[in-house]
């Protein structure tokens, strides 16, 4: 009798109900395009120059900005997020972006602008 009780107890515990369904893994965010990343990052700028916009898109594609850095730019809500996004770029990517910013400033002012050190 004790064997049957133990067996019933084991079966009752072992078959205590269906396991909850495993939740699906989180969806991987869609790849962000360079155009979307640049557009969002310049959204707060007063009338960004279309040539500058195009140069940043080209730079994004040429320098192969990571999906994480592009996603960060799209999701950013302000300057604090911008610093977080900047940390995701390589030194070479940051240097190239700075050169593009300096060139845009030179074009806008008509005077040479020294890059920040």
Q: Which two three-digit tokens encode residue 70?
A: 């592009």
* CA–CA gap between residue 50 and residue 9 (Å, rounded): 74
* CA–CA gap between residue 65 and residue 94 (Å, rounded): 10
Query: For the segment 45-62, what is each residue's pLDDT rounded down to a tens digit?
Result: 776 678 888 999 999 999
Query: Which pLDDT does position 110 carry in this prediction?
Result: 73
Query: Which pLDDT does position 96 carry in this prediction?
Result: 93
Residue, of 106 and 8, whose pLDDT is higher: 106
* Averaged pLDDT, 71-94: 88
> Using CA of residue 94, residue 98, residue 100, residue 101, what is the dihedral sign?
positive
């Amino acid at each position: 009798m004790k064997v049957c009780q133990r067996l019933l107890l084991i079966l009752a515990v072992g078959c205590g109900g269906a396991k909850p369904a495993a939740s699906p893994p989180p969806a991987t965010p869609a790849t962000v395009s360079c155009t979307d990343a640049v557009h969002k990052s310049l959204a707060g700028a007063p009338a960004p120059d279309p040539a500058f916009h195009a140069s940043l898109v080209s730079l994004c594609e040429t320098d192969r900005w990571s999906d994480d850095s592009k996603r960060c730019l799209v999701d950013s809500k302000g300057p604090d997020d911008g610093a977080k996004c900047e940390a995701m770029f390589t030194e070479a990517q940051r240097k190239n972006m700075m050169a593009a910013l300096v060139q845009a400033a030179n074009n806008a002012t008509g005077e040479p602008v020294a890059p920040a050190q």
